[in-house]
């Protein structure tokens, strides 16, 4: 399995500010995925991050609000910009370690509270 480290594990932020979440994997992977889990809800895919190209965003998510970087095959960041209380969620990164459509592994998540 993969070791996926997310930082920070939790944060409390003021509305209008931005937070950057880091995801580090101990293996090289082609695609990394960012999910949001709102309180009491299941996971929703925000975007897929490919190394060397623009991230692909799902319907309802835009790059200005959730910019993503993918500088190499083991690291990605997700920024939550101009935060509002509605952004309070758990944010998780995920990888398919053995290639597309294989077993997915998740980081421990970042619990974000916006006040």
Binding of residue 106 to another protein (CB under 8 A): yes
Binding of residue 108 to another protein (CB under 8 A): yes
Residue from the set 92, 95, 112, 114 that interacts with another protein by CB under 8 A: 92
Binding of residue 42 to another protein (CB under 8 A): yes
Binding of residue 103 to another protein (CB under 8 A): yes
Q: Where are the beta strands (DSSP E) in 1-115?
A: 4-7, 10-13, 19-25, 31-37, 43-50, 56-57, 68-72, 75-80, 89-96, 104-106, 110-114
Binding of residue 54 to another protein (CB under 8 A): no
Closest CB to another protein among 41 and 82?
A: 41
Q: CA 62 to CA 102: how far, in whole Å? A: 27
Please check whether residue 46 is in contact with residue 78, taking contact to mean a CB–CB distance below 8 angstroms: yes
Residue from the set 32, 33, 55, 66 that interacts with another protein by CB under 8 A: 33
């Amino acid at each position: 399995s993969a070791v996926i480290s997310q930082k920070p594990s939790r944060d409390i932020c003021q509305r209008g500010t931005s937070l950057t979440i880091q995801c580090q994997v101990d293996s090289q992977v082609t695609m990394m995925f960012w999910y949001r889990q709102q309180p009491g809800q299941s996971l929703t895919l925000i975007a897929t991050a490919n190394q060397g190209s623009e991230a692909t965003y799902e319907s309802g998510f835009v790059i200005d609000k959730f910019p993503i970087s993918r500088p190499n095959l083991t690291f990605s960041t997700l920024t939550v910009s101009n935060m509002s209380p509605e952004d309070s969620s758990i944010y998780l990164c995920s990888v398919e370690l053995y290639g597309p459509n294989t077993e997915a592994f998740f980081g421990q998540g970042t619990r974000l509270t916006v006040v």
